[in-house]
Amino acid sequence: MKHRYWLPSALLGLLLFQPSVWANSGTPLMWAGALHLAFGNLLIGLGEGWLLAKLRSIPKAQTLPAMIIANYFSAWLGYLVYYDSLKNLLAFDLYNAWRWFWVLMAAAYLVSVLLEWPFVWWCCRTLPPKARRSWRATFLVQGASYLVICGWFWLASYASLYTQMRIAKPSEVALPPAVQVYYLGAEDGNVYRRLLAGGPAQKVYDLRSTNRSDVLFIEPVTNNANHWNFIALLRPDYPASPIRITLLTNVPVETLFARDQLEKDSIDYEQDAVYGWPFRLVETPHGNWQFWYGPYACEGLTARNAARQIKLRVAMETPFTAWRVHYLSALPTDKALFQLGDDQICGFDPETRSVALLWRGRCPVPVIPRP
């Protein structure tokens, strides 16, 4: 391999690694964004400068520096504006995020054209009037470079939630009707209970949790089978020790909970809070599907049917939207319940590859009530 090809080949090879390789160093998309902001704009600027010089017969000594500066200017300004303001204004959810993805893709292209047009105009300022028209050249140059940028970020993105799954209504996912779910309300942070198959929410504790790292979970009652205590860990003053609150005691519910399976969701490692517990309900101690999830959005939720050799991944990590999976629970009838992103409680049917947003909330804890 010639020496001039080793760097792009190495970068492409890094992006094509499985997400597990990045478990301790970030995701492919994180690295793709960092490399683009640091070095990618230099390469894109060189390419745009060369193309502009060809289109308008302008010396490369004039176009190359101008387009390099233009790319760093537009990329960093767009990054700061999007992540500091626009991203917080858009209400992404399971049902509109894919549409917003394509809208923002088109908007990013138009914004790049607007931001880099002055630099193209400056390069064309000494040309005859007809050749001085810089808008057409800007659209052509940006169109060519945008295809490269889109391909670069698409290689590092994961959107199987939309490309391989079916986004369904809650009524289209046959969830087990006997299951109740305790969770933290998205708006007020209080503890609610509702039937998984539908129905109104009932407030059971006035907790008023406000921190994303606050946790709701259950602990077994000693010497009392199938009775559990509901516990909350609040962290209003991190890194101070969490405040432990016993919400409900000796609640008669059925669930199969193995202490040795307790694990932290590594999104919250730095806050040292238990943030995600694997459950399997008693009705299906040996289901056909196994579920697990990873610490990054690109790993998402994985479902495997070993007998049929089927493996599915539900993940969403793009430059515009990245949702981690938390609080994954295996349900009767081989369904799964999980929290997607900050406050979307979702149901998943691997047989039909259907994902539905059930309601807004955090820390879902599914149980089967006992008489």
Per DSSP, the residues of 299-336 read: T-EEEEETTTTEEEEE-EE-SS-EE-EEEEEEEGGGEE
Is 352 within 8 Å of 336 (Cβ atoms)?
no
pLDDT value for 25: 54
Q: What residues are paired with 215 via a beta bridge?
A: 233
Mean pLDDT over 143-155 rounds to 85
Rank 145-154, 173-182, 207-216 by mean pLDDT and report only the highest. 173-182
SS3 111: helix
When mean pLDDT is compared across 31-40, 56-65, 226-235, the lowest value belongs to 31-40
d(CA 315, CA 192) in angstroms, rounded, equals: 27
Confidence band (pLDDT; 50, 70, 90) for 82? low
Residues 6+ apart with CB under 8 A from 161: 167, 300, 314, 315, 316, 323, 355
Is 226 within 8 Å of 252 (Cβ atoms)?
yes
pTM score of the predicted model: 0.79
Q: What are 131's two structure tokens?
A: 């050749």
Query: Which of 353, 328, 218, 334 minimizes the C-alpha distance to 284?
Result: 334
Neighbours of 226 (CB within 10 A): 16
Lookup result for tokens 């970030």: 26
Per DSSP, 68 falls in state: H
What angle in degrees, to the nearest 10, is found between the helix axes of 97-124 and 60-81? 150
d(CA 56, CA 338) in angstroms, rounded, equals: 55
Mean pLDDT over 11-26 rounds to 45
270-308 pLDDT tens trace: 333 333 344 444 444 457 888 888 888 888 999 999 889
Q: What residues are paired with 368 via a beta bridge?
A: 254
Query: Which of 326, 333, 332, 337 minimizes the C-alpha distance to 368?
Result: 332
Is 329 within 8 Å of 279 (Cβ atoms)?
yes
d(CA 323, CA 325) in angstroms, rounded, equals: 7
Four-residue CA torsion sign, 82, 85, 91, 92: positive
d(CA 185, CA 191) in angstroms, rounded, equals: 6
Is omega for the bond preceding 239 within 30 degrees of 0, making it cis?
yes
- Whole-number mean pLDDT of the chain? 80
pLDDT value for 269: 30
SS3 8: helix
pLDDT value for 280: 46
Q: In what order do the strands lie in the sheet with 301-305?
A: 290-293, 301-305, 310-314
Residues 6+ apart with CB under 8 A from 246: 229, 230, 231
